[in-house]
Structure 1
Amino acid sequence: MANFDDLLAANRDFAADFDLSGFDGVAHAGVAIVTCMDSRIDPLRTVGLKPGDAKILRNPGGRVDDLTLDALVISVHMLNVSRIMVVPHTRCAVASNSEATLRERLDNATGLDTSWLTLPVTDGQEVSLAGDVQRVKAHPLIPDTVTVGGFIYDVDTGLLQQLV
C-alpha cells in the first residue's frame, strides 16, 4: 500500500479545507462535458467553471459511446444538464493513429493479443466529432431542448474551437 502514500498525503491536505461537503451533486451551470482522458485537459478550468458546475465524462478520444450516452441521459433528466459539450483534442493518440497501429502498440506492450479490445479510433477527428454530436442529438431520451455542441480543444494553446 505504500505506493499511494504520496497521494493519500495530498488528499489529507485537500480535505483539510474541503468546502464541498453536503453538495447536492447536480450540475449547477447545467453543463456536461464529454472529453478525453488526456491529462493535459482540465475540463472545468477550460471553460471557466468550478467543481459542482458540470458533469465531466472522460474516455479515450472523448468519444460518445453507449456508456457515455447512458450517462448523458441520466445527467439531462436527473442532474440539471441542459448543455452538452463534446470535446476531443489536438494531438490525440487515439485520433492520430490507425487501429492497426494502436493494436500493434498494445500487443507489444502487453505481450498479448488485444484484438478483442474495443479501440475508439476515428476516420478523421472532425467527421467523428460531427457523428458523436449527431448521436447525442438523435438519442430518443435527449430532448430537443438540450443544446449540444462539438468542439476541438487545442492542447498547445488552451483554446476551444466550435466545429459543430
Structure 2
Amino acid sequence: MNSVFADIFSANEKFNHEFNHQGLIGRARRGLAVVTCMDARIDPLEALGLRIGDAVILRNPGARVTDDVLRALILAVYVLGVERILVMPHTDCKMTKMTDAELHDLIATRYGVDTRDVAFGTIPDQMATLQADLTRIRTSRHLPGRLAVCGALYDVGTGRLAPIEA
C-alpha cells in the first residue's frame, strides 16, 4: 500500500467493519439529484438532511451544469429515480473570484504547467450563471417537462441554504 494513502485505507478498514448499507439499490430514495461544487467545505448530505442512498450527488468546480452533468442528470432521471434537481452553488467560490486567464497564469507561474488548452469555466456573475444552468436543465429536450428544478445558494460560513427564484 502506498504510504501517502495509508490514512485513507485505514479509515476504510474501520468503515468496512461498520458497513451497513447492503440494502441500498442505487436509486435515489428521495428522488433528488443535487449539483454542487467540489469545494471541500460542502457536505451536501448533511447540509440537506439527507442520508446515503437518498440522492444522486454531482460535484464539479462552481456547481456548473456542464455537458457531462447534463448527461448524468439524464441518466439519473431515467435510470436512478430522480424527479427533482437542486443546483446548489455556494458563497466564497474560487470559480467566481478569478478568470480563466488568471487561473492559467497562476498555474503557469506557480507550477510551470501550461493549461491554456483547458476551459476552467470560471463564473463572472454567479446568479446569472445559476439562472442559465437552471434554464439549461428545464429546456433540455432529453429531460421531462414535469421535472422539478430549483436553485439555491449555500452559505459556507453559516450552512444556510437560500432558495433562488428562477
Same fold (TM over 0.5): yes
Matched, 1:53 2:32: no
The residue aligned with 2:157 is 156
- 1: distance between equivalents of 2:20 and 2:129? 39
Gaps of 5+ in 1: none
Aligned residues: 164
- After TM superposition, the score normalised by the length of structure 2 is 0.95
The residue aligned with 1:84 is 85
Matched, 1:65 2:66: yes
- 1: distance between equivalents of 2:39 and 2:123? 16
Give per-residue Cα distances to partners, 1:123-152, cap 9 Å, x unaligned. 200000000000011111111111011111
Q: Report SS of the residue matched to 1:150.
A: strand
- 2: distance between equivalents of 1:56 and 1:12? 24
- After TM superposition, the score normalised by the length of structure 1 is 0.96
Deviation at 1:23, TM superposition (A): 1.7
- 2: distance between equivalents of 1:109 and 1:32? 37
- 1: distance between equivalents of 2:38 and 2:67? 17
State the 4+ residue runs in structure 1 displaced beyond 2 angstroms.
Answer: none
Deviates more, 1:153-162 or 1:18-27: 18-27
- 2: distance between equivalents of 1:120 and 1:74? 23
- 2: distance between equivalents of 1:77 and 1:17? 32
Name the Cα RMSD after superposition.
1.0
- 2: distance between equivalents of 1:3 and 1:26? 34
Matched, 1:40 2:41: yes
Q: Report SS of the residue matched to 1:81.
A: coil
The residue aligned with 2:16 is 15
Asked if structure 1 preserves the Cα contact closer than 8 Å seen for 2:138 and 2:149, the reply is: yes
Percent identity, aligned pairs only, is 40
Gaps of 5+ in 2: none
